[in-house]
Structure 1
Amino acid sequence: MKVKVLKKFRDKETKKVFDPKGKDNSVYEGTEERIKEISDKGYVEKPKKQSTKKTTKKEDA
């Protein structure tokens, strides 16, 4: 899962620095649990709820 970085921080798991103004590190990718943890602290955007609906195609009769 990927989310946009809001504030500069160093990830405690990867030791990598993420910066919203950086080219390479302006998007954080991690597990759903880790993203929830750091989004609660305000470092990344809150993950968007993914729709579980399946679209069905209507066939012409």
Structure 2
Amino acid sequence: MPPVDVDTASVETQMRNLTLSGHVGFDSLPDQLVSKSVQNGFIFNIMCIGETGLGKST
């Protein structure tokens, strides 16, 4: 297969430079998920079961 000619100047202008706001890695995934949940919000349901008169609905 012959080599492909690539204009490196156009490739460099299309690349994005990102600044990192913190540590990136597998050990920081729980912290990233917490931050994302706090920013976006979350919904959860709780089912409470038990005998009559225990105050489940209060």
Give the TM-score normalised by the residue count of structure 2. 0.21
Which of the two has greater helix per residue? 2
Which of the two has greater strand per residue? 1
Q: Which has the higher contact order (CA 8 A, sep 6+)?
A: 1
- Pair member with larger Rg: 2
Give the TM-score normalised by the residue count of structure 1. 0.20
